[in-house]
């Protein structure tokens, strides 16, 4: 039996580009806020801020104004919205002045 060439009517399938699947992303809110409280010792202000916002914060003393008896702190809080931070502060601090407020969304790739 001899082999004869056979013509087929198959058409090549067009190739399409499929981008690689991305790893899931998580987004975290990061709030930075300046707060001025009365006093000349930072310990009372620190305690009040830690009580209001919990342990998930970074706290820096920006200025101590001994003439006017005021201390300004810069507070950085993770995983909270601006509204949650301000609500916690107004509920815990009697006479504080809220200054500059910034919020940042931090997006991280999660391990698959």
By the 10 Å C-beta count (0-12 exposed, 13-18 middle, 19+ buried), 57 is classed as middle
Any idea which residue has 């991305």 for tokens? 22
Is the pLDDT reported for residue 81 higher than 90?
no
Q: How high is the mean pLDDT of the chain?
A: 81
Segments making up each domain of the chain, as ranges: 26-106
Higher pLDDT pick, 76 / 108: 76
Coil/strand/helix, residue 98: strand
Q: What is the pLDDT of residue 7?
A: 60
Q: pLDDT category, 33, cuts 50, 70, 90?
A: very high
Q: What is the pLDDT of residue 111?
A: 60
**Homologous superfamily in CATH for domain 26-106:** ACT-like. Chain A, domain 2 (3.30.70.1150)
Q: What is the pLDDT of residue 18?
A: 66
Q: How far apart are CA 78 and CA 75, in angstroms?
A: 10
The answer to whether 75 touches 53, Cβ cutoff 8 Å, is: yes
């Amino acid at each position: 039996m001899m082999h004869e060439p056979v013509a087929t009517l198959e058409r090549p399938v067009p190739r399409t580009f499929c981008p690689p699947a991305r790893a899931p992303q998580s987004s975290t809110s990061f709030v930075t806020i300046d707060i001025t409280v009365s006093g000349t010792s930072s310990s009372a202000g620190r305690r009040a801020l830690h009580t209001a916002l919990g342990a998930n914060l970074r706290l820096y003393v920006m200025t101590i104004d001994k003439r006017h008896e005021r201390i300004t702190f810069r507070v950085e809080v993770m995983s909270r919205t601006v509204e949650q931070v301000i609500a916690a502060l107004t509920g815990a601090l009697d006479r504080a002045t809220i200054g500059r407020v910034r919020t940042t969304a931090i997006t991280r790739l999660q391990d698959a």
